[in-house]
Structure 1
Amino acid sequence: MLRNLLTGLALVLAMPVFAATMGDDGLHKADWMRDTFKDLREDLEEANAEGKRLMIIIEQRGCIYCKKMHEEVFPDPAIDAALNEDFFVVQINMFGDVEVTDFDGTTLPEKDMVRRWNALFTPTMMFFPEQVAEDARANQAAVAVMPGAFGIWTTRNLLSWIQEEGYLGDEPFQKYHARILQEREITE
């Protein structure tokens, strides 16, 4: 009996720990995601008040790439810490019906807003500057858009590049990423 108990315990401990749970809508829910009214103007204001960067993540039910990000990438301690401490993350359901208000005041259901933004892939992460023009659409205002699933180092480096406002400098993200990997002698 003790042997069975120890075997069971070993199996439980060997199972991966996931930072996200599955919501009723079939999307992953992480503790760093914010439950807001999805008015991007208000979300940006709140993010700024907290000293964080606004990030939208577009996902869909059954997305294998979303699953990969939530199970393999987002739980990385450095990424999890950055998302908790530095980013104000709002989740959008690619095929959802919850109303979203864009920066220009247009209000549409999630699925129509995603189409308006020309977002084709999930997950898609959109990052915003501290100030956005009143007449801008989110896809126009974003300083970076990451469509699809990427590895830990690409994601870590993108979050750092956004925080450092690398998009304002002369070093594009791809060169920044390559430099960081080379400096740390990492092969991704």
Structure 2
Amino acid sequence: MTRLFATLFAALVALPVFAAELGDDGLHKAPWMRDTFKDLGDDLEEATAEGKRLLVLIEQRGCIYCTKMHEEVFVVPEIKQFIEENYFVVQINMFGDVEVTDFDDKAMPEKEAVRRWNAMFTPTMMFFPEESEGELPADELAVVTMPGAFEKGTTLNLLRWVVEKGYETDEPFQKYLARKLGE
């Protein structure tokens, strides 16, 4: 019986643990997130200089859907690697007080920026073009906004569709997703 327990314990210890690390603000922290001054114009320039796309990820403390994304989706090796290679991710706290400077140079606390952008759900992912097209607020400049949590396949394909600039084609994301899932 002792050998059985030892074997079971060894098997449990060998299982990967995907507990998302929480920061002092109660939000999940991933190594691919950038700690910036949250000046979105500067963040876009830096992302473009690195050959990456700017992704603003809006989350809140205690969000069960954010937890799902961090523990079940963002940890999938293919998704994690795709994010690391293609995206410059800035996290915004839906109810935070850290100052954010929007693309139109208006500075405000995170919670006011989120309200301004009409983001009502967490997580929300906002994807931006490689260059700013004038002085617009983030919600008007974003090429794609994904409110809510989605499964692995949908999330990975959305990340790919944005990098491939699918939003500039005649194939909407839903048809792209159906085609990719059918391959």
TM class by smaller structure: over 0.9
Question: 1:25-174 alignment to 2 at 5 Å?
Answer: 25-174=25-174
SS in 2 for 1:58: strand
Identity %, equivalent residues: 63
Contact 1:33 1:90 in 2 (8 A): yes
Q: Is the alpha carbon distance of 1:80 and 1:15 closer, same or farther for their aligned partners in structure 2, counting shifts above 3 Å?
A: closer
Contact 1:56 1:90 in 2 (8 A): yes
Contact 1:103 1:133 in 2 (8 A): no
SS in 2 for 1:125: strand
Gaps of 5+ in 1: 184-188
Gaps of 5+ in 2: none
Contact 1:123 1:147 in 2 (8 A): yes
User: Which residue does the alignment assign to 1:10?
Assistant: 11
User: Which residue does the alignment assign to 1:186?
Assistant: none
User: What's the CA shift for 1:14?
Assistant: 3.1
More divergent stretch after superposition (132-141 vs 50-59): 132-141
Matched AA of 2:145? V
Q: Deviations over 1:53-94 (max 9, x none)?
A: 000000000000000000000111111011101000000000
How far apart in 2 are the matches of 1:160 and 1:72? 18
Matched AA of 1:34? R
Matched AA of 2:84? N
How far apart in 2 are the matches of 1:92 and 1:6? 44
User: What's the CA shift for 1:109?
Assistant: 0.2
TM-score, normalised via structure 2 length: 0.95
How many aligned positions are there? 182
User: What's the CA shift for 1:40?
Assistant: 0.2
Matched AA of 2:14? L
Q: Deviations over 1:12-63 (max 9, x none)?
A: 2235334x41111100000110000000000000000000000000000000
How far apart in 1 are the matches of 2:149 and 2:86? 20
User: How much is the aligned-residue C-alpha RMSD, in angstroms?
Assistant: 1.4
SS in 1 for 2:62: coil
TM-score, normalised via structure 1 length: 0.92
